[in-house]
Amino acid sequence: MTEAAALPGQPRGGVLSGPATARAVNVLAPNPSAMTLDGTNTWIVAEPDSGLAVVIDPGPLDEAHLAHVIATAEEQGTRVGLTLLTHGHPDHAEGAARFAELTGTKVRALDPALRLGDEGLAAGDVITTGGLELRVVPTPGHTADSLCFHLPADRAVLTGDTILGRGTTVVAHPDGRLGDYLDSLRRLRSLTVDDGVHTVLPGHGPVLEDAQGAVEFYLAHRAHRLAQVETAVENGHVAPGDVVAHVYADVDRSLWPAAELSVRAQLDYLREHGLI
């Protein structure tokens, strides 16, 4: 067994940008950080031999990146026909309005404030631009407006920040809620069991080849952290910052502010369920 195969979800090695499946190509945004990993993955998705492509998460407001996305689509023989957002965080959505201006496309999102055009996105919607089939999967938790997109033809799911290619995501309290996030992970697990999804195309990090393994890891990780937080509170660590210092002592301190958001969401969850 290789080291990569032993990691949750079996992350694909090699270059992050470029073709990932028969229909999905990644253009990596130049915004690497502790929170964005290598940068934001901007996905170009198109049916083979179609003249139209869908772009998911144009990323930050970076003119060179937006131009690179358009050029990459054109190199495939397509033009961008629609822009979709997985959620409204700036590293995914800040460049959407400018990208729509450059491409003449509408922007569809769950949050009305992010839309350009009359149509939003909702559970059960099916995107059919250029003959492509993308199914909208509601996955609140990281944020209230988080969505995933199921790409049945490639047995893949585009997960935004709900599942990352490396590490785990933040439940961005107070907008994000842990109970919602756990339900969303279970919804994604159903896609792997009932719909044969095996590939995760994440918003950050490498492609994952074992979608079910990734989801199971995320669920186990959340259960473990929740138990740790509950124990910390029982031992007198009540303030969120104190819980972070106790539970996340082995995590880089630069990530503690993000960890505190998740801790606050976990504390809310424990209170709601009468566990603390």
Give the pLDDT confidence score for residue 4 in this predicted structure: 39
The total number of structural domains in the chain stands at: 1
**Is residue 29 a part of any domain in this protein?**
yes
Round the CA-based radius of gyration of the chain to a whole number and report it: 19
Q: What DSSP line would sit under 36-95, residue for residue?
A: TBT-BEEEEE--TT-SEEEEE---SS-HHHHHHHHHHHHHTT-EEEEEE-S---HHHHTT
**Is residue 149 a part of any domain in this protein?**
yes
Mean pLDDT of 205-229: 97
The CATH number of the domain where 77 resides is what?
3.60.15.10
Write down the residue that tokens 């069991």 correspond to.
193
Give the pLDDT confidence score for residue 6 in this predicted structure: 57
Note whether 147 and 240 are within 8 A (CB). Answer: no
**Is residue 159 a part of any domain in this protein?**
yes
Strand order of the β-sheet with 126-127 is: 126-127, 134-138, 147-151, 156-160, 199-202
Instruction: Please state the length of the chain.
Output: 276
**Is residue 94 a part of any domain in this protein?**
yes
Mean pLDDT of 166-179: 96
Mind listing the pLDDT tens digit for each residue in 2-40?
333 457 899 998 878 999 999 999 999 999 999 999 999
Burial class (CB in 10 A: 0-12, 13-18, 19+), 63: exposed
Residues of the chain above pLDDT 90, percent:
94
Mean pLDDT of 213-240: 96
Does this model's pTM top 0.85? yes
What are phi and psi for residue 213, nearest 5 degrees? -60, -40
Mean pLDDT of 154-158: 98
Write down the residue that tokens 């509950």 correspond to.
230
**Is residue 223 a part of any domain in this protein?**
no
**Is residue 203 a part of any domain in this protein?**
yes
Whether residue 47 has pLDDT greater than 60: yes
Rounded distance between C-alpha atoms, residue 214 and residue 20, angstroms: 17
How confident is residue 220, by pLDDT bands cut at 50, 70 and 90? Answer: very high
**Is residue 4 a part of any domain in this protein?**
no
Two structure tokens written together for 219: 């669920």
* Residue numbers of the domain that contains 76: 18-211
Mind listing the pLDDT tens digit for each residue in 179-210?
999 999 999 999 999 999 999 999 999 999 99
Mind listing the pLDDT tens digit for each residue in 64-76?
999 999 999 999 9
**Is residue 230 a part of any domain in this protein?**
no
Give me the helix-helix angle, 178-194 and 211-234, nearest 10°.
150
